[in-house]
Structure 1
Amino acid sequence: MDSVIPALPDGHGIAVLLLIIVALFIFTRDEIPLETSSLLVLVALTVGFTLFPYQYKGEEVDPLGLFHGFGHEALIAVCALMVAGQGLVRTGALEPIGRMLARFWAVSPLFSLLLTLVLGAFLSAFINNVPIVVLLLPILVSVAIRTGKPVSGMLMPMGFATLVGGMGTTIGTSTNLLVIAVAADLGMRHFQMFDFFFPAAIAAGVAILYLWLVAPRILPERAASLNDRSPRLFTAQLHIEEEGFADGRTLSELQEKVGGSLDISAIRRGDTLIMPLPDAALKAGDRLRVCDTPENLTEFASALDAALFAGDTRVDDENPLRADDQQIAEIVVTQGSFLEGSTLAYARLAERYHMLILALHRPGTTLQTLSTDLGNMRLKVGDVLLVQSSQEQIASLKQNAELLVLDATSDLPHTQRAPLALTIMASIVAVAALGLVPIAISAVAGVLLMILTRCLRWQDVVQALSVPVIMIVVASLALGMALLKTGGADYLAELFVALASGASPSVMLSSLMLIMAILTNIVSNNAAAVIGTPIAFSISQQLGLPPEPYVLAVLFGANMSYATPMAYKTNLLVMSAGGYRFSDFMRVGIPLTVIVWLVLSWLLPRLYGLG
């Protein structure tokens, strides 16, 4: 085999290759929203080809064609399936599965863990794994609290099981849909829904055995991220005493006295309410409505010479502050939630649900509590809010499918439309699996049925659509097209073949899959998949071999998002709920990646006759 290093592509090809390097870098930067970096890439491509025209096979590349991703069937299918999955969440269609698993856990925890992993993997082959993880998280947290076992031994295996299960069908993940659509655009036959189910099922079976028998034993015990890390807040009254410090002073003077940390929500003077403005002058007999920890409230009362009351009872050693009906709960920000991408001030969470926001935990950062201005922090998938409210309010929160509440008594939403939503989702899958219509059409039709039958509202549709996912898909498709039309894909394929000179086709396939597996844990899996697909196609052409196994190597490799928490959004969800560290994902995820990679590296060459 010729091992000569290929010549570099022309100026346009080099520019696209450099842009890909820049894109893969900025996609990983938390300070730049993913939708912003995706738009930047899209603008760079379209403006670049407008200012510097380029011809491909005698025809000028139309910059407007780089926007085709917005109307691409893969994006339409991804969005429609996200919305349909939201219909299952809103109606509680998966609730019977949750109830069944909860009952099994009370009988046999070891067998129940296996059943949970298998069901999670199976469901994720047909439904986006985010609602599956959202369904199982409160169940497993509840089981851990009841049994006294660490939740860290359950959540990560469950999350990874949904990832390995998603490899099994064309609709299992958005990555699968993109790879298949891009490969079809390149001229390859269109994969049917179960065309690669066999190798994926074998790999998933081996992976689940590892996640069942090995992963819980090598995971260290972790406490939940927010348990007992932030104190409860109490609402009380400070009564202004005659000739005390506060008598005759303004609120700004009181704030200066206590260091600006006094949270006064109302002033009552007799039967009159006074706005708590900085220049409001106080008089003896005024009552200030305040909210803080018991320790801080006691310090405020002492510093201001005020009396602290809870209701009509004066607070002292014999009558401490009590909150018998108050509960603390953890709310996880999930994909599609109205909290995603919003701030607490804008979402008005505390006002809408009559709760106190005690703290915010973000994976990989330290806990932030009242002393920090949480109101203006933009929330991300995986963030966990520690809130306090009444038992009744917490119970109603758990019935709201827009919020994922973690505690020991989590109730799952269920409505009379749940069977209908499940039937529509099954029909979407069945019609596409039988080849009657493409998945993009069946999914859009299913969404319409869910709206017409009121399984979904239009505001649910808006919440289900993820702008970052849409933008990364469009930008990745544009990058893939530019890479192909400037000769960049051919150059990278020639370079790969040259560097692997003397290696067998099966070793090349295995190497390509490993490269994709590494890349997907660093950057977006969709970006890695769309960029890798034309390269895989070019490699197969240069080797004179069928493209299917090499395209599948990209598909499977881009799905191996196990080694880092940022590799996939469900990793962030389980990281927060289980209190995991970055090193825990590497401890369990790297061996899992190696296992799945080795199994598929052995299977694919034999299934496709590569030796």
Structure 2
Amino acid sequence: MDSIHVWATYLLILASVIGYAWERWPIEAVAAASLSAFLLLFAVAPYRDAAGFAVTSGDLLSGFSNPALITVLALLIVGQGLFATDAMARPTQWLTRIGGTVGGRATAVVLLSAALLSAFLNNTPVVVIFIPILTMLATQRGIPPAHVFMPLSFLSILGGMTTLIGSSTNLLVAGVAARSGIEIGFFDITVPGLAIAVVGGIYVIGFMPRILTPRQGSEGRVADSGGKQFLGEIDITEGHAFEWLTARAGLFPGLGDLMPRMILRGERTILPPFDDITLAVGDRLIVTATRRAFSKALSTGNLTVKTLDPSAETLGDQTNKIGPDMVMAEAVVAPGSRYAGRTMQYSGLRTQFGITLFGLQRKSRMARSALSEIRLEPGDTLLLCGQASAIAKLKGNHDLLLLEYSAQTIPQSAKAGLAASIFFAIVLMAATGALPIEVLAVVGALLMVATGCLTVGEAARAFDRSIFMLIGASIAAAVALERTGGAAMIAETAMTALAGLSTAAILSGLFLVIAIMTNVLSNNATAVLFTPIALDLSRRLGTSPEAFLACVIFAANASFATPIGYQTNLLIMGPGRYRFIDFAKAGVPLVILVWLTFSIVAPWYYGL
């Protein structure tokens, strides 16, 4: 029965990996099937491990209560809070200024900063820090998310290989070695670690983006926040940020990305160039800008969601506060629409749907006039703002065709400082060990919702069910592999096969075996399993144990070929829109490079 359970476990793991890589079925479906198979196996044919304890369904389902799973999901919610409030806009601008205007160079600066920080801080908080920064950078520079997030995870892992505290794996190996009377110093692994990090970094930054295929989000398309220009109107009220703004060289430098087209001052129309013109209370500033610029103006209060419809109690004075449930979306006026021919002021959109029309894009030339006086035409693209529930009412409307992919939450810039404070408190306390990171992550996610940085709906959308199922099923496989003795059997078989080879060859072979195992089990489980084996090998061969301990550290960290091997891979799986096969395509070459680099550098450095 023992051998049946071991071989059945091998078969189920192989079938699961094939299912993930084939991509014929969703990851959640393959994970659910894998988990069901393990539950059936140990329910129909009960098994007791070497210590005499039965492998129960509770053991196999323990992954769903695993701290790593809770941490990943909670940190995704925290990261969504940072993105929803634009909290990382300023750090992104600072880093991109260092990198210059070239998108690839700016990305490289951010990624290398993450790798450097990972040498002195655990990988997980480093990746959490840089996910919102790279999200902003990718959005601003039009960089595919697939080209930045997997490099972030891989470079943080590579950076973490260079010092003892760079990752939890390093500390685990050091802890097991300390029980055998062997101490590993802070910089004992730095030289070979740097060699591996440099070779791996060149591949990750220079070659890996060419391998990765950008994918669209779950909505099927990404909102066009780039070059499409909309016509909009800004009322200059008392205390407005643009009040007393004076034109220089015909333009208003304080407007940022908003391009002025006309100023309506009472009955007077002021056209460009705007020489010696100062904006005053009562002016209506007609501008053109991208939806990104309008979104920023709304979030900072420079543009207000106001009532344009005469049927409301007040005209032009009623404003709505931009809350976490306010959404910006685009809709197209359909041919034969009953809105065609109506002016924007008398469109009736607010009274009917509770939304405000504040931008218009038309392919043909538009007359210079107030936004509220422009008559709508079929084919016009309207920029709308309202609560998510109000925008949803447009679905199925035959007069206004809602572009559902365009609906995006307006950043809560007023709460950016609050969101950033929550985030950095998590990172600081996790780095100092004040509280466990799973506790900090859950509390941080709760605070993001409680303080209004996120709505409950936004937090729920940040929850990634594929990661939830993948971690649960993977831990079930790992439990089965360890408790049945399958992992130990692989290790013993590998050591038997390496017997009789030179010390350098044995070290290289051991690295390859561990690197394969760490992508099936977790990195920490693999490190704990192979550290005693490595120490025993060094004693048998009569060599220094440092080389074999370094082998375990570097190989157990080489979790590049699957998303389940390392926690940071799971963190970036959703933001990067990756599939299981993407990690194999981009990660397997990196595993091979790391293995070859170690096989060349280790014998020289350790004098084998």
Matched, 1:323 2:380: yes
1:132 maps to 130
C-alpha change, 1:100 and 1:311, in structure 2 (3 Å) is same
2:266 maps to none
1:35 maps to 28
Q: How does 1:205-604 map to 2 (within 5 A)?
A: 205-209=198-202, 214-215=206-207, 235-238=333-336, 323=380, 351=395, 387=406, 397=408, 399-400=410-411, 415-432=416-433, 436-447=434-445, 450=448, 455=453, 458-504=456-502, 507-511=505-509, 513-514=511-512, 525=519, 529=523, 532=526, 536=530, 539-540=533-534, 543=537, 548-549=549-550, 551-559=552-560, 570=572, 592-601=590-599
Letter in 2 for 1:70: F
CA distance in 1 between counterparts of 2:167 and 2:429 reads 17
CA distance in 2 between counterparts of 1:223 and 1:530 reads 31
**Secondary structure in 2 matching 1:43:** helix
**Secondary structure in 1 matching 2:24:** coil
1:69 maps to 63
Aligned residues: CA RMSD: 5.8
What do residues 247-304 of structure 1 show as CA deviations (whole Å, max 9, x unaligned)?
xxxxxxxxxxxxxxxxx99999xxxxxxxxxxxxxxxxxxxxxxxx99xxxxxxxxxx
Quote the sequence identity (%).
Answer: 22
What do residues 166-200 of structure 1 show as CA deviations (whole Å, max 9, x unaligned)?
45459x9xx977998899999989x99x8999465
1:100 maps to 94
Letter in 2 for 1:536: F
CA distance in 1 between counterparts of 2:7 and 2:177 reads 21
Asked if 2 retains the 8 angstrom alpha-carbon contact of 1:203 and 1:599, the reply is yes
What do residues 58-104 of structure 1 show as CA deviations (whole Å, max 9, x unaligned)?
51414132233333343344344444434433443322221213434
What do residues 311-346 of structure 1 show as CA deviations (whole Å, max 9, x unaligned)?
687xxxxxxx6637679xxxxxxxxxx9xxxxxxxx
Shift of 1:129: 4.0
Corresponding residue to 1:118 among 86, 106, 112: 112
1:258 maps to none
1:49 maps to 42
CA distance in 2 between counterparts of 1:464 and 1:561 reads 22
**Secondary structure in 2 matching 1:480:** helix
Letter in 2 for 1:132: F
C-alpha change, 1:476 and 1:460, in structure 2 (3 Å) is same
Q: Which consecutive residues of structure 2, in runs of 5 or more, have no partner in the other structure?
A: 229-329, 342-361, 364-373, 540-544, 564-568
Asked if 1 retains the 8 angstrom alpha-carbon contact of 2:514 and 2:555, the reply is yes
C-alpha change, 1:155 and 1:69, in structure 2 (3 Å) is closer
C-alpha change, 1:186 and 1:92, in structure 2 (3 Å) is farther
Corresponding residue to 2:156 among 162, 165, 176: 165
CA distance in 1 between counterparts of 2:455 and 2:331 reads 36
Asked if 2 retains the 8 angstrom alpha-carbon contact of 1:516 and 1:529, the reply is no
Asked if 2 retains the 8 angstrom alpha-carbon contact of 1:86 and 1:131, the reply is no
Letter in 2 for 1:92: D
CA distance in 2 between counterparts of 1:120 and 1:516 reads 26
CA distance in 1 between counterparts of 2:52 and 2:473 reads 23
CA distance in 2 between counterparts of 1:111 and 1:188 reads 45
Matched, 1:204 2:197: yes
What do residues 575-597 of structure 1 show as CA deviations (whole Å, max 9, x unaligned)?
89xxxxx99996x8776554444
TM-score scaled by structure 2?
0.54
CA distance in 2 between counterparts of 1:19 and 1:186 reads 33
CA distance in 1 between counterparts of 2:157 and 2:394 reads 36
C-alpha change, 1:166 and 1:86, in structure 2 (3 Å) is farther
C-alpha change, 1:325 and 1:204, in structure 2 (3 Å) is farther
CA distance in 1 between counterparts of 2:465 and 2:430 reads 24
**Secondary structure in 1 matching 2:335:** strand
1:380 maps to none
CA distance in 1 between counterparts of 2:470 and 2:479 reads 14
1:21 maps to 14
CA distance in 2 between counterparts of 1:516 and 1:66 reads 23
Asked if 2 retains the 8 angstrom alpha-carbon contact of 1:35 and 1:467, the reply is yes
Asked if 1 retains the 8 angstrom alpha-carbon contact of 2:561 and 2:584, the reply is no
Asked if 2 retains the 8 angstrom alpha-carbon contact of 1:473 and 1:526, the reply is no
C-alpha change, 1:184 and 1:464, in structure 2 (3 Å) is farther
Letter in 2 for 1:416: G
CA distance in 2 between counterparts of 1:429 and 1:472 reads 25
TM-score scaled by structure 1?
0.54
Shift of 1:421: 2.2
CA distance in 2 between counterparts of 1:488 and 1:606 reads 34
**Secondary structure in 1 matching 2:334:** strand
Corresponding residue to 1:88 among 82, 88, 104: 82
C-alpha change, 1:420 and 1:497, in structure 2 (3 Å) is same
C-alpha change, 1:325 and 1:474, in structure 2 (3 Å) is closer
Q: Which consecutive residues of structure 1, in runs of 5 or more, have no partner in the other structure?
A: 1-7, 145-150, 239-263, 269-292, 295-309, 314-320, 328-337, 339-346, 359-374, 376-384, 388-392, 402-411, 577-581
Asked if 2 retains the 8 angstrom alpha-carbon contact of 1:492 and 1:535, the reply is no
